[in-house]
């Protein structure tokens, strides 16, 4: 498979829609997948951070991924989030889904443990040794308490099935640093909507986006404009989306994006499992205004 085809442009970090009891809302999930197929989103990341992976039991993760694959019906690639705080648990999850039809794994740095750089290298190397599927590294230090360094990324990029990184630190200087450490075919993806345009202009290939959940067509168009070198037009679109980029993190993700999807009618309920709670009234007002500015409402 041509990995660059589905790892370029706008990739959605999809929410996991739930009913008021916290169970998977399959009707809303099908609607979301159809929305992204119609919007020409490049790929879907299933059960990542935005998909509430840490509040899902292992069997639920697997069932959600299989349901997504069924609803997608090969119309859009599905990337599976597999990251856990334990190397053994991460490998166990990967083994249970590697033959389901997912095209790649997204593997976050192990949270809470605060491993050294060598520990991070050994973690991802061990996962790589235990699967043939492509791996996308995921660095989000604000969530995990550890930061995957450009040097370690460079070392990991030499392993055959580690093909990309989702860099969500928001530090644009890392684009230069990582590019110096990796070969030209290694794929760089932003994990921060607010800086994604600049990330791509500096040499990134796309973004794994929260904003795309609710503004998919505009994110696709913005990314395509950057890829085509039409930066002025891309900037205009990004300015329309910027308030949305920011307000979607006014309260902890995925609380705001779930409410936004509910507000525009993409899902039937904005329920999240504890310890995540529903968006406050002030958050709703701020996000409502951002949706209007972005032209989503």
For the chain, what is the radius of gyration of the CA atoms? 18
- Told to judge if 138 belongs to the known catalytic residues of this protein, a careful annotator would answer yes
Q: Determine the 3-state secondary structure of 190 from DSSP.
A: strand
State the virtual CA torsion across 218, 222, 223, 225 in degrees, nearest 10. Answer: 140
Q: H-type helices in the chain, by residue range?
A: 3-6, 26-39, 58-72, 87-97, 117-129, 141-144, 150-156, 173-181, 196-201, 216-227, 231-247, 255-263, 281-293
Torsions phi, psi of 211, nearest 5?
-55, -35
Q: How many CB atoms lie within 10 A of CB 110?
A: 22
Alpha carbons 180 and 168: distance in angstroms, whole number: 18
Distance from C-alpha of 292 to C-alpha of 42, rounded to nearest angstrom: 25
Please give, one letter per residue, the 3-state secondary structure of 170-185. CCCHHHHHHHHHCCCC
- Count Cβ atoms within 10 A of the Cβ of residue 65 and give its class: 0-12 exposed, 13-18 middle, 19 or more buried: buried
d(C-alpha 213, C-alpha 88), whole Å: 31
Is 208 annotated to bind ligand?
A: yes
Catalytic residue among 40, 112, 158, 166: 166
Task: State the Cα–Cα distance between residues 273 and 55, nearest whole angstrom.
Answer: 7
- CA-CA distance, 206 to 204, in Å (whole number)? 6
Catalytic residue among 6, 121, 138, 262: 138
The one-character DSSP state at 152 is H
The Cα-based distances of 145 to 85, 164, 169, 286 in angstroms read: 11, 21, 11, 28
Name the residues annotated as catalytic. Answer: 138, 166
- Binding residues, by number, are 50, 208
- Binding residues for pyruvate, by number, are 50, 208
């Amino acid at each position: 498979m041509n990995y660059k085809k589905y790892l370029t442009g706008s990739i959605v970090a999809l929410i996991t829609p739930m009913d008021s009891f916290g169970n998977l809302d399959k009707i809303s999930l099908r609607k979301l997948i159809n929305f992204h197929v119609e919007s020409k989103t490049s790929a879907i990341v299933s059960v990542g951070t935005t998909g509430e992976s840490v509040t899902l039991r292992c069997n639920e993760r697997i069932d959600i991924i299989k349901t997504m694959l069924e609803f997608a019906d090969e119309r859009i690639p599905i990337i599976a989030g597999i990251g856990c705080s334990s190397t053994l648990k991460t490998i166990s999850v990967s083994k249970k889904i590697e033959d389901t039809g997912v095209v790649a794994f997204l593997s976050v740095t192990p949270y809470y443990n605060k491993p050294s750089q060598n520990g991070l290298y050994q973690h991802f190397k061990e996962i790589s040794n235990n699967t043939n599927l492509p791996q996308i590294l995921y660095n989000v230090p604000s969530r995990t308490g550890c930061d995957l360094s450009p040097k370690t990324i460079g070392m990991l990029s030499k392993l055959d099935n580690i093909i990309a990184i989702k860099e969500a630190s928001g530090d644009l200087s890392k684009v230069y640093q990582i590019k110096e450490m990796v070969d030209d075919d290694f794929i760089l993806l932003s994990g921060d909507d607010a800086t994604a345009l600049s990330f791509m202009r500096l040499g990134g290939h796309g973004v794994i986006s929260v904003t795309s959940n609710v503004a998919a067509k505009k994110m696709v168009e913005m990314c395509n404009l950057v890829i085509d070198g039409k930066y002025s037009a891309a900037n205009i679109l990004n300015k329309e989306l910027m308030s949305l980029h920011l307000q979607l993190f006014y309260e902890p993700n995925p609380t705001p994006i779930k409410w936004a999807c509910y507000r525009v009618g993409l899902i039937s309920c904005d329920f999240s499992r504890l310890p995540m709670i529903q968006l406050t009234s002030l958050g709703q007002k701020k996000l409502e205004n951002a949706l209007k500015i972005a032209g989503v409402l």
